[in-house]
Every structure is written in structure tokens, then in C-alpha cells.
Amino acid sequence: MEKLNYEKPIISKITAGVPNKFGLSTKQRIIAEIDSIPVAKLADEFGSPLFVFSEKTIRETYNKAKQTFETHYPKVQFAWSYKTNYLDAICSIFHDEGSWAEVVSVFEFEKALSLGVKGSNILYNGPEKSEENLKLAINHNACIHIDHFDELYLLIKITQEMNKKARVAIRVNLDAGIYPMWDRFGFNYENGEAWSAINRIMLADNLELIGLHTHIGTYIMSALGYGIAATKFSSLMVGIHRKFNLWLKYIDLGGGFASKNTLKGAYMPGSETCPTFDDYAKAISNAIITSEIPHENLPILFLETGRALIDDAGYLITSVLANKRSTTGRRTIVIDAGVNLLFTSFWYNLGVFPSREISDLMEDTTIYGPLCMNIDVIRDAINFPQVKTGDRLVIERVGAYNVTQWMQFITYRPNVVLIDLEGKAHIIKKKESLETLRVNEFNPKR
């Protein structure tokens, strides 16, 4: 006799309630393959946990963003935000598509140079630039985005000593109706500090002012803020032209476009509420095009968007280690990927999905990582189907920040693979080993 399909026996308490904000089960989505490669095959071949990037998704997302902005504005240039993901293979795809590099440290600067990016195509941001770093940037003719007056005066001094010109822009912070307002970086627009900095730069013989830069915040859900920033920059540009007869070459509106991830505490899923590239592009281009800047002097629009270009292209494959019940009867599962690999789990409710059809019986579940630490919680509450040990799960939208902010803790960081356009998987960062971890350690003889 053919045996019937088995399902684990389950009893769950019916909570009596009037409407609250927590959800009822809906049909469980499955991620069985990534770019046509079965998840199980990837995990068998490269181990678990495993970061997987899709070159196809990266290129498609980039081209969609680029085309969208170009339909609204004539001159657009993307600069890949290294801090979002600086794996060589990932940066190379963006550079191949035509992206410049946006770096915030000398490490990133050197990495960009080593990948063949021309120094003049590097935007050098951030509050941390030493005299030595600045000299490197000047020698490579990079665009230096000045963050504060101390840096400005240091540059004046260095360029005089070197008797060399530096190409500079200033970082500006402004009120774009975005909360919280990021006023810790750059010079303030509203109180006139930015205008003072511009005036000082114009007096310096060896500084060539070529652009304006701002970054209004992170994970900005309102396209309107970018429009406000673009309007304020247009006024600055017109002011600079009036006083110094100079049209700046570019304005850089930074990044901060939201990805489709769902922020903790948000009511609706991010995939439904996050503005589209079209929304951002319209808001920005309308503001610049309707300003007093003559058409022939329109600045190049630089965008340093990172998260929105790479988050969707990254997945983490992980395996179920254990099913448990807490003392309150709550279901918990333990997986082999912890918060040390998933920095973004601190602010997102990451999507976790099974890789094969399983029971549609859902239960409110807590998902723990494998670290021997209480804070290691990937999801504190998720409706999740029953899974067995060894089942592969897929965590989606983890392409941004995780592989730069990850921590090595108690074990080796895993393999990272890239699925190329032909559907072939390549290791782009190898799993750590005792040797690679120890290479810089020294144990004094006693």
C-alpha cells in the first residue's frame, strides 16, 4: 500500500483577539533556485552558510536605475559606493557598467585604484582623511569632498606646499524635510556655513571648486527630500555663478535610496512602500531643470546610491540546525547564520524563505543564529512553516552592507559566490581558514 504524505503533528493555541497589527498566515513563498541554480546544489557545492550574488540582477538593477534617471535628466553619472559592498568582483561589475568609485577611506581609495579606476573618477568622501591620504588623492587628481573647515585649511596648506592643484567639492548638510536631519557631515546650508566655505575655497589659488555634495540620510522613503536638496543646490550654483562667474561641473546627491527591505517597526512591507527610481528621478530632475541654471550649464548629476542597487542581488543560503520549544511553548529554530554575518538584521525584518515546498502550516517563530550569544536573533517574530534539521533556507535582500560590516566571530566567514550571466557560479571570496585568520597574528616567545 502506498503510504500517505507525512506532516509533523502540531497543536497551536488560538489566541482570541480583536484586530491588532500582527499578521495571519498567507501562502508561503519559496525560493528554490537563484538564477536557475537550485539552492540545494549551491549549498552542497559551496557549503552553508553561503552568500550568493546574482550578476544578472546587479546589471539589470543598475541599468534600470540609469535609464530611469537618463530619461528625466540629460547628464547622469553613478559612482559605486564602496562601503556598501567592496568585494572586487562586485565593484568590477559596476565599473564595467560605467560607474565611478565613491570611497570614504584610504583603503577603499587604494582598492578602487587597484581595480583600474582612474584617480580622477574617484569621489573621495568622509570625515577621515589624513594629510598623507589627501596627498595621495591630490596626486591622483581625485575629487575631494571636503567635510569640515579643518580639512579645508589642511588642503590649503598641503596644496601650497606641494604647489599642486586639488579638485574639490564640499559636502553640504541641509534641511530636506528628512528626519533625523544628518547635520554631522559637511557644512550647513541654512546657516550660511556652506556659502562661507565656498567663498574661502574660491580665494584659495590651488583649490578648484568643481562640485557640491550632499547625502540627506539613509533609507529615505520620500522622494520629495531629494527634490528639496536639488532645489537648494541649484540656488547655491546660481549664487556661485553670480558672484564668481563660475558654473560648477556637478552636483552629487549621494545615496540613501531605500531598498525593498522592510524596516523594523514599519507597518507595510518595504516592497510596497519604497519609492521607485522613477519617483526619485522625477523629484530631482524637476528641481534642477526648473531652476535658474541655463540649460547649457546644467551640472552633471552624480548618484552614489548603493543599497538600492545591490541589496536585491544578494542572498544568504543557510541551514536549519535545530527546532526547539521555549519554556513558554514558543517555537524557535536555530540556523547556521548569525547576526555577525547579517548586520542588517539589526534594522530590517529580513525575509527568510524555505527552499522547497513544505507544509503550509505556519506558526509564529523566533529564528536564532548559531552564536553562543543571547543577542543572536535573526527574526524575533516571523510566521514560518515547519522545517527539519538540514533544510536549506534563503534570506533575501542581503547584498548591501552585510559583506562589508560582517564580523569574524568564533568561526570562519563563509564563501561568497557570484552567479555570472551564463548561470555559472564562481567563488568570489573564499571561506576563511585557520591560516588566513592567523596570517597577521604574532605570538611572542616566552
Partner 1 sequence: MIKQKITLAVTGLNNTDNPGPGVPVIRGAKDSEELEVRVIGLVYENLEPGIYMENLCDRIFQIPYPSSGSEGLIERVEQIHQQEKIDVLIPNFDAELFSFMKYEKRLAEKGIRTFLPTLEQFQEREKDKLPEYGEKYGVKVPDSINLGSLHQLNEVASKFDYPIMIKGQFYDAYKCFNIEQAIYAFHKVASKWGLPVIVQEFVSGTEVNVVALGDGSGTTIAAVPMRKQYITEKGKAWGGITLADEKMLELTRVLIQKTKWKGGMELELIKTSSSDYYLIEINPRIPAWVYLAVGSGQNIPEALIKLALGMEVKPMKEYKIGKMFVRYSYDMIVDLERFAAISINKEI
Partner 2 sequence: MQILEEIKISDNGFVFNALTGESFSLNPIGLEIIKMIAANSDFDEIRKTILDKYDVDDLSFEKDFYEFSTMLKHYQLTQQNNPLNFV
Residue pair 41/400 in contact by the 8 Å Cβ criterion = no
Containing 353, the helix (H) or strand (E) segment is strand 352-354
272 binds partner 1, rule: CB under 8 A: yes
Pick from 1, 4, 6, 20: which binds partner 1 (CB under 8 A)? 20
6 binds partner 2, rule: CB under 8 A: yes
With CB under 5 to 8 Å by kind, the binding choice for 444 among partner 2, partner 1, none is none
Shortest Å, Cβ 332 to partner 2: 12
Q: Judged by CB under 8 A, which stretch of 13-21, 69-77, 89-97, 128-136 contacts partner 1? A: 13-21
Residue type, 115: L
Residue pair 299/248 in contact by the 8 Å Cβ criterion = yes
HSE (side-chain half, CA atoms, 13 Å) at 328? 5
Pick from 2, 6, 19, 388: which binds partner 1 (CB under 8 A)? 19
Q: Are strands 314-325 and 392-396 parallel, antiparallel or unpaired?
A: antiparallel
Q: Which is nearer to partner 1, 23 or 423 (CB)?
A: 23
Of 310, 303, 277, 258, the C-alpha closest to 89 is 310
Q: Judged by CB under 8 A, which stretch of 13-21, 70-78, 79-87, 437-445 contacts partner 2? A: 13-21
* Furthest-apart CA atoms within the chain: distance in Å: 92
Pick from 21, 184, 325, 446: which binds partner 1 (CB under 8 A)? 21
Buried b (16+ CB within 10 A) or exposed e, 199-238: ebbeebebbbbbbbbbbbbebbbbbbbbbbbbbbbbebbb
- Cell output for 13: 493555541
Q: Which is nearer to partner 1, 312 or 336 (CB)?
A: 312
**Which x/- pattern over 361-380 shows residues binding partner 2 (rule: CB under 8 A)?**
x-------------------
Residue pair 179/220 in contact by the 8 Å Cβ criterion = no
Of 173, 133, 172, 139, the C-alpha closest to 154 is 133
**Which x/- pattern over 159-198 shows residues binding partner 1 (rule: CB under 8 A)?**
------------------xxxxx-----------------
16 binds partner 2, rule: CB under 8 A: yes
Distance of alpha carbon 339 from alpha carbon 406, whole angstroms: 8
8 binds partner 2, rule: CB under 8 A: yes
Pick from 1, 4, 11, 16: which binds partner 1 (CB under 8 A)? 16
- Cell output for 91: 565593484
329 binds partner 2, rule: CB under 8 A: yes
Q: Which is nearer to partner 1, 395 or 425 (CB)?
A: 395
Of 265, 259, 406, the C-alpha closest to 349 is 265
390: number of Cβ within 10 Å: 10
Q: Which is nearer to partner 2, 4 or 268 (CB)?
A: 4
Q: Which residues contact 355 (CB under 8 A, 6 or more apart)?
A: 30, 31, 32, 38, 39, 40, 317, 391, 392, 393, 394
17 binds partner 1, rule: CB under 8 A: yes
116 binds partner 1, rule: CB under 8 A: no
328 binds partner 1, rule: CB under 8 A: no
26 binds partner 1, rule: CB under 8 A: yes
Containing 132, the helix (H) or strand (E) segment is helix 131-139
Q: Which residues contact 395 (CB under 8 A, 6 or more apart)?
A: 315, 316, 318, 337, 342, 350, 351, 352, 353, 378
Q: Which is nearer to partner 1, 37 or 181 (CB)?
A: 181
Q: 3-state class of 333 per DSSP?
A: strand
430: number of Cβ within 10 Å: 13
Q: Judged by CB under 8 A, which stretch of 92-100, 263-271, 282-290, 309-317 contacts partner 1? A: 263-271
Shortest Å, Cβ 33 to partner 1: 21
Of 105, 99, 101, the C-alpha closest to 134 is 105
Residues in contact with partner 1, counted by CB under 8 A, come to a total of 26
Q: Are strands 50-54 and 76-81 parallel, antiparallel or unpaired?
A: unpaired
5 binds partner 2, rule: CB under 8 A: yes
With CB under 5 to 8 Å by kind, the binding choice for 433 among partner 1, partner 2, none is none
3 binds partner 2, rule: CB under 8 A: yes
Shortest Å, Cβ 337 to partner 1: 23
Pick from 36, 116, 267, 441: which binds partner 1 (CB under 8 A)? 267
Q: Judged by CB under 8 A, which stretch of 17-25, 85-93, 313-321, 322-330 contacts partner 2? A: 322-330
Give me the residues that bind partner 2 (CB under 8 A), please. Answer: 3-14, 16, 323, 325, 329, 359, 361, 388
Q: Which residues of the chain form contacts with partner 1 (CB under 8 A)?
A: 14, 16-27, 177-181, 265, 267-269, 271-273, 383
